[in-house]
Structure 1
Amino acid sequence: MPVSLVPTTGSTTDGAGTGTSASAETEAPAPTRTRPAIITPPRTTEATRPATVTGRYHVLESYGDSFIGEVLLTNRTGTGQDWVVTLTYPGTLRTSWLESLPQPTLVQRGDTYTWTSSVPLAASSTGQLRFHFDRSGGSDNPDACSVNGQSCS
Structure 2
Amino acid sequence: MSGMRRAPRPSHGPAAIASSPWIVVGAGVVVMVVLLFVALGAYRGRSPARDGGPPPAGLPLPQAPVSPSGLSPTPLPENSALLPGLSPRASGLPPSAPVTPVTSRPSTVGPTVTSTSARTPIRPPQQQPSAVSGRYRVVQSFDGGFIGEVLIVNASGVDRGWTVRFEFAGGRLVTTWVEGVPQGTLRQFDGGFTYVSGVDVPAGGSVALRFHLERASSTPRGCTVDGARCSGF
Task: Provide the TM-score with structure 1 as the length reference.
Answer: 0.69
- The question of whether the paired residues in 2 share the 8 Å contact of 1:101 and 1:127 is answered with no
The counterpart of 1:120, out of the listed 200, 207, 215, is: 200
The counterpart of 1:92, out of the listed 165, 172, 175, is: 172
The counterpart of 1:80, out of the listed 134, 159, 168, is: 159
State the 1:41 CA deviation: 7.2
Alignment of 1:7-86 (within 5 A): 34=111, 42-44=121-123, 46=125, 48-86=127-165
RMSD, aligned α-carbons: 2.7
- Alpha-carbon spacing, 1:131–1:35, altered in 2? closer, same or farther (3 Å): farther
Q: Specify which structure has the bigger relative contact order, considering alpha-carbon pairs within 8 angstroms and separated by 6 or more residues.
A: 1
**C-alpha distance in structure 1 between counterparts of 2:160 and 2:209, whole Å:** 15
Match of 1:5 in 2: none
Deviations 1:72-96 (A, max 9, x none): 0000111011111000013201111
**C-alpha distance in structure 1 between counterparts of 2:135 and 2:123, whole Å:** 32
Q: Does 1:102 align with 2:166?
A: no
State the 1:121 CA deviation: 1.1
Q: Which consecutive residues of structure 2, in runs of 5 or more, have no partner in the other structure?
A: 1-108
Q: Which consecutive residues of structure 1, in runs of 5 or more, have no partner in the other structure?
A: 1-31
Match of 1:145 in 2: 223
Across the two proteins, how many residue pairs are aligned to each other?
A: 124
Q: Secondary structure at the match of 1:43?
A: coil
- Give the helix-richer structure, 1 or 2: 2
- The question of whether the paired residues in 2 share the 8 Å contact of 1:69 and 1:132 is answered with yes
Match of 1:18 in 2: none
Match of 1:6 in 2: none
State the 1:148 CA deviation: 0.7
Match of 2:213 in 1: 133
**C-alpha distance in structure 2 between counterparts of 1:95 and 1:111, whole Å:** 14
**C-alpha distance in structure 2 between counterparts of 1:115 and 1:38, whole Å:** 52
Larger of the two Rg values belongs to structure: 2
- The one-letter amino acid of 1:117's match is S
- Alpha-carbon spacing, 1:36–1:83, altered in 2? closer, same or farther (3 Å): farther
Match of 2:66 in 1: none
State the 1:118 CA deviation: 2.2
- Give the strand-richer structure, 1 or 2: 1
**C-alpha distance in structure 2 between counterparts of 1:105 and 1:59, whole Å:** 22
Runs (4+) off by over 2 Å = 32-48
State the 1:36 CA deviation: 10
Task: Provide the TM-score with structure 2 as the length reference.
Answer: 0.47
